[in-house]
Amino acid sequence: MKFVVQRVSKAQIIIDKKKYSSIKKGLLVLIGIEKNDKEEMLDYYAKKIINMRIFNDSNYKMNNSILDIKGEILVVSQFTLLANTKKGNRPSYVNAEKPDLSKYLYRLFCEKLKNYEINIKKGRFGANMELDFINDGPVTILLGNE
């Protein structure tokens, strides 16, 4: 699994020129599911993202988690995170998991985040989406293959 976690002041998904979902202050999380990724990995990443201290405290130090600030999370499935660009100019996506299993793991990941009693919004799996967001900081964290 690969993740891009971005601290945002707001984010929204637009599908077919209509707002599909949106959040205010929180995290925009892009997730790519690879072949051989397992359900058991989802608990680790959900806990890691929920507890990641990347929000400022009163002294402007990144000491607070999404739980501390009572923020929201917008989760988007993005298989292009798995692009292999070693050969040629056209990325290869052979390491991406098949859509059926990816969709299942994506939805399960969102459910695991909801267990932390936080507002979770998501994109539409497989849809062509426009993401409109303001990266706060900017703060962008890459996770995966730890």
What is the separation, in whole angstroms, between the first and last Cα of the chain?
10
Backbone φ and ψ for 51, nearest 5 degrees, come out as -95, 0
85 has catalytic annotation: no
Q: How many CA atoms within 13 Å lie on the side-chain side of 32?
A: 20
Distance CA 134, CA 10 (A): 6
Catalytic residue among 9, 51, 80, 140: 80
Q: In whole angstroms, give the CA distance from residue 32 to residue 77.
A: 6
Q: C-alpha dihedral over 98, 50, 124, 136, to 10 degrees?
A: -120
The DSSP code for 126 is: T
Q: Which residues are known to be catalytic?
A: 80
